Amino acid sequence: MARKEKIEEYSGPAGGWGSMKSVTRHMLKQDAVRAAPLLPKQNKQDGFMCVSCAWAKPEPPHAAEFCENGAKATFFELTGKRTTPEFFTRHTLTELRTWTDHDLENQGRLTQPLRYNPETDRYEAVDWSEAMAEIGRELAAIRSRDPKRAVFYTSGRASLETSYMYQLFARIYGNNNLPDSSNMCHETTSVALPETIGQAVGTVRLEDFDQVSTLLFFGQNVGSNSPRMLHQLKDAVERGATIITFNPLKERGLVRFVDPQNPVQMLTPNETRISTLYHQVRAGGDIAVMVGIAKALVALDDEAQAQGAPRVLDTAFIAQHTAGLAEFDAYVRAQAWPDIEQESGVSRGDLEVVAGIYAKSPSVIGVYGMGLTQHKLGIDTVQMLTNLLLLRGNIGKPGAGICPVRGHSNVQGQRTVGIAERPELVPLDRLAEQFGFEPPREKGLNTVEACEAIVAGEVDAFVGLGGNFLRAIPDRDVMEANWPRMRLTVQIATKLNRSHLFCGDVAYLLPCLGRIEIDRQASGEQLVTMEDSTSVFHKSRGMQEPASEHLRSEPWIVAELAKATVPGESTVDWDGWVGDYGKVRDAIEGTWPDKFGGFNRRIHEPGGFPKPLPARERVWKTENGKANFKVPQALHASFDPGTDDKVLRLITLRSNDQFNTTVYGYRDRFRGIEGTRMVVLMNQGDIDRLGLKEGQEVGMQTVADDHVDRRMQGFKVVPYDIPAGCVGAYYPEANALIPLYQHAERSFTPAAKSVPVRMLKPEPGIV
Ligand SMILES: Nc1nc2c(c(=O)[nH]1)N[C@H]1C(S)=C(S)[C@@H](COP(=O)(O)OP(=O)(O)OC[C@H]3O[C@@H](n4cnc5c(=O)[nH]c(N)nc54)[C@H](O)[C@@H]3O)O[C@H]1N2
Ligand SMILES: Nc1nc2c(c(=O)[nH]1)N[C@H]1C(S)=C(S)[C@@H](COP(=O)(O)OP(=O)(O)OC[C@H]3O[C@@H](n4cnc5c(=O)[nH]c(N)nc54)[C@H](O)[C@@H]3O)O[C@H]1N2
Ligand SMILES: [Mo]
């Protein structure tokens, strides 16, 4: 389908009328008008939790507790369009592989279980019972050879109940191969924070935004990816709080916001300025930024000491609660300003101003997203942020803390209920006792390791509980080529996506209920639960009739898979659980009584109920019982070899019109890019220097040392306000350029925010 392309600067704020127009257009396009009455129930106690982001749900909620992108997500899920078996009589998978992500999902909801027929190259309708029987036989056969040759992936949307059942199924099957979307996302957080503050998640709750005096905002695009958070930011700014942002791009939501729910703001040109200071850090330059701020802070502290003034560092906190300051202090003093300026792209003067504000702020929150986690030294970067906060005791006091903004609506919760490839994170003895089986103790595969194992021919079966694995992972071309070597592929999904177009010898596509649909089981309508970015558990009840009578709930599907594959190998009452999800919640409480005590009762409390956060109470569950300063390995977090000025750092970006690989449309309104996603955003100086022209089509080639030639063509050059040496392109389109082995050290999160690339002119040949 030809689309009109338009690239021009967007002058509006985030939110406002632009957002209202966009929501209405999506509702009509998706034929989802009947879903409109449900929006007031979104993120409310008596309603459903948004299927888009994981941002916190305030109590009491705003009159409308949804945003432009949350409404789009609802309409896209409750679309009137259907992908029926008849659709596949018209299209082979070979043909569908030429379609875009948008066109695939835009066919609407899957309606029936499907089995791939290699002879016709099509999906064909199949009965549930037949599907489950064959999948069970295949999985059992693989298990009898080696249970480690199957992988059980989860995307972060499935409920706590489904996730708990799924990890049990995998463990009864005999492995810990439970990679999940978090491996590509905040896994860096989950490895970094336990070492510094003794917990894997943030310390901030919503009430802290009422007391915060300064927010340091790193690499998170709030206007597109967690827009409801703009309410807290706007309120904080109006109270006089300062927001200081570090981001290579001037993201609109971090600059200005008009509250679409506030009639006064909508009718007057009254925008709220969000960021007081905005620094366009180089991709991967955040360690240098924070070292600079810390260095300036230490200098201020020296000065205060010399003058006998009150100390700038919180010495009482540091003495009582932390370890490692001396080494960190020595490191910071030893770093030279020219190096810090070079790596960060921010001047000493600017960083000193930030340090000055930080030094005077009684309570500071550090917020971050993929801009920090998706780098080679992502862990060092996140730990550098905790260093900075610890210097002034900004963890474990009101209005302060660290705030990783999670992605998928239940990605954090899945980890809480056992989706983890690292067995030490799960109370396996308790599971053994509860369910009468011997859980495997060997470490399982994370996402990158699962990909490597598939390429090495060491995986026979892949089961995907949601998501779009092949599109979300790095090295797409290599992975697509190797995928069909597997014996069995099973995808549980709501919409058709590219991952479904690559099949093992035996392949099934199983359609499930979405979260917003009514889920009727033996004991009546069910509710499910999830955990938000601030570690609060919420309930969610489906409210719309299912898209097809053939859909089954995720708990039902997982239970049937387990019954067909590992019958009688545990005491799990799969049917009883499916009949009443409250029994699954009781089992979860049995596994983690400290976190889920009173689960079935407390989930009905207004605003949900919080998970205990030890670091919030200044209890440090680290090895030494202290909060730890950590010295970073380098000043920049990237793979960039550094000396060759033709090598640029590629940042892969989300538009305002997508949820991960689900591309709603082609309007990245805030960045002024419409009608196309095949663009490369470039600094004008780099365009000139490399002899390129605005609007020209170019390619990119990854700089890698594994002799694999990763190149893509067809990106249009768009001059953009981005630091020299950095370029931007959209995810997932650009994923073929990311090498699997270029991931964050130790967390294995793919380094999607600084891929070293060279630009290619359309004729082969390197610029
Ligand atoms: N509408 C919508 N909502 C979503 C999603 C979606 O796709 N659409 N995805 C969900 C998911 S799973 C996730 S994980 C989150 C993702 O939400 P975010 O964490 O916001 O992720 P990104 O949009 O990938 O990139 C974040 C920002 O990092 C900046 N950045 C890139 N490199 C650097 C760097 O080196 N340093 C700094 N300081 N900044 C950098 C980019 O310019 C961008 O503004 O959102 C969730 N919510
Ligand atoms: N280059 C690059 N790559 C990235 C990133 C990046 O910033 N840059 N970000 C990474 C991040 S943060 C993440 S989280 C991953 C995302 O990776 P995934 O979580 O695997 O991908 P999604 O695009 O969220 O999955 C969308 C699909 O989920 C299915 N789905 C939707 N709702 C449901 C449901 O209720 N149940 C079931 N069973 N299925 C459902 C639909 O079929 C839909 O097509 O991508 C990662 N990849
Ligand atoms: Mo994510």
Tens of pLDDT, residues 650-699: 999 999 999 999 999 999 999 999 999 999 999 999 999 999 999 999 99
Under 8 Å between Cβ of 609 and 597? no
Q: Is 643 exposed, middle or buried (0-12, 13-18, 19+ CB in 10 A)?
A: exposed
Residue-level pLDDT at 9: 83
* Token reading at 295: 């260095």
Residue 259 confidence (pLDDT) above 80: no
> What pLDDT band is residue 1 in, cutting at 50, 70 and 90?
low
Distance CA 340, CA 639 (A): 17
Whose tokens are 């470490």? That residue is 443
179 lines ligand 1 (CB under 6 A): no
82-185+410-591 and 187-405 in the same fold: no
Write down the domain spans for the chain. Answer: 6-77, 82-185+410-591, 187-405, 648-760
Distance CA 629, CA 321 (A): 11
Residue-level pLDDT at 761: 87
Tens of pLDDT, residues 235-255: 999 999 999 999 999 999 898
What separation in angstroms does the CA of 453 have from each of 149, 343, 504, 743?
9, 35, 15, 16
Q: Which residues pair with 699 in a beta bridge?
A: 760
Q: How many CB atoms lie within 10 A of CB 435?
A: 19
Residue-level pLDDT at 705: 85
217 lines ligand 1 (CB under 6 A): no
The continuous run of DSSP H or E covering 328 comes out as helix 325-334
Whose tokens are 């949900």? That residue is 608
Tens of pLDDT, residues 584-629: 999 999 999 999 999 999 999 999 999 999 999 999 999 999 999 9
486 lines ligand 1 (CB under 6 A): no
For 60, phi then psi, to 5°, come to: -70, 155
Among 53, 155, 510, residue to substitute to test ligand 2 (most atoms within 8 Å of Cβ):
155
Among 105, 155, 247, 652, residue to substitute to test ligand 1 (most atoms within 8 Å of Cβ):
247
Which SS3 state, helix, strand or coil, does residue 331 take?
helix
The minimum-distance atom of ligand 1 relative to the CA of 181 is 12
Q: Name all residues whose Cβ lies below 6 A of ligand 2.
A: 105, 155-157, 181, 184-185, 370, 374, 407-408, 465-469, 472, 492-495, 497, 512, 514-515, 554, 652, 660-662, 731, 735, 738, 752
Residue-level pLDDT at 41: 93
Radius of gyration of the chain (CA): 25
The minimum-distance atom of ligand 1 relative to the CA of 246 is 38
* Token reading at 472: 């979300």
Residue 21 confidence (pLDDT) above 90: no
Start-to-end Cα distance in the chain: 32
The DSSP bridge pattern shows strands 679-682 and 726-730 to be antiparallel
Domain 82-185+410-591 architecture: 3-Layer(aba) Sandwich (3.40)
Q: Which of 128, 165, 87 is nearest to 559 (CA)?
A: 165
Tens of pLDDT, residues 535-592: 999 999 999 999 999 999 999 999 999 999 999 999 999 999 999 999 999 999 999 9
- List, as own/partner pairs, every contact residues 124-133 make where C-beta atoms lie below 8 angstroms and the sequence separation is at least 24, other chains included: 124/85, 124/88, 125/85, 126/508, 128/550, 128/552, 128/560, 131/508, 131/510, 132/560, 132/561, 132/563, 132/564, 133/564
Tens of pLDDT, residues 352-389: 999 999 999 999 999 999 999 999 999 999 999 999 99
Tell me the three-class secondary structure of 96-154, residue by residue. Answer: HCCCCHHHHHCCCEECCCEEEECCCCEEEECCHHHHHHHHHHHHHHHHHHCHHHEEEEE
Tens of pLDDT, residues 98-143: 999 999 999 999 999 999 999 999 999 999 999 999 999 999 999 9
All residues at 6 or more sequence positions from 469 whose CB lies less than 8 Å from its CB, including other chains? 153, 155, 462, 499
Residue-level pLDDT at 462: 99
Tens of pLDDT, residues 423-468: 999 999 999 999 999 999 999 999 999 999 999 999 999 999 999 9
Tell me the three-class secondary structure of 630-652, residue by residue. Answer: CCCCCCCCCCCCCCCCCCEEEEE
Q: Calculate how far, in angstroms, residue 621's C-alpha sits from the geometric centre of ligand 2.
A: 32
What separation in angstroms does the CA of 144 have from each of 149, 168, 173, 457?
10, 18, 10, 18
pLDDT above 70 covers a percentage of the chain that reads: 98
> What does the angle CA 322 – CA 326 – CA 330 come to, to the nearest 5 degrees?
140
Mean pLDDT across the chain: 96
Among 753, 754, 755, residue to substitute to test ligand 1 (most atoms within 8 Å of Cβ):
753
Residue 270 confidence (pLDDT) above 80: no
Under 8 Å between Cβ of 220 and 369? yes
Among 100, 499, 650, 660, residue to substitute to test ligand 2 (most atoms within 8 Å of Cβ):
660
Tens of pLDDT, residues 298-341: 999 999 999 999 999 999 999 999 999 999 999 999 999 999 99
Under 8 Å between Cβ of 725 and 648? yes
247 lines ligand 1 (CB under 6 A): yes
- Has domain 187-405 been given CATH number 1.20.80.30? no
What separation in angstroms does the CA of 565 have from each of 136, 220, 441, 510, 580?
4, 42, 20, 16, 22
14, amino acid identity: A
Residue-level pLDDT at 260: 75
470 lines ligand 1 (CB under 6 A): no
Residue-level pLDDT at 763: 65
For 368, phi then psi, to 5°, come to: -155, 165
Residue 7 confidence (pLDDT) above 70: yes
Residue-level pLDDT at 63: 87
The minimum-distance atom of ligand 1 relative to the CA of 225 is 3
Q: Calculate how far, in angstroms, residue 372's C-alpha sits from the geometric centre of ligand 1.
A: 9
Distance CA 370, CA 751 (A): 10
CATH of 648-760, one of 3.40.50.150, 3.40.50.10540, 2.60.40.10, 2.40.40.20: 2.40.40.20
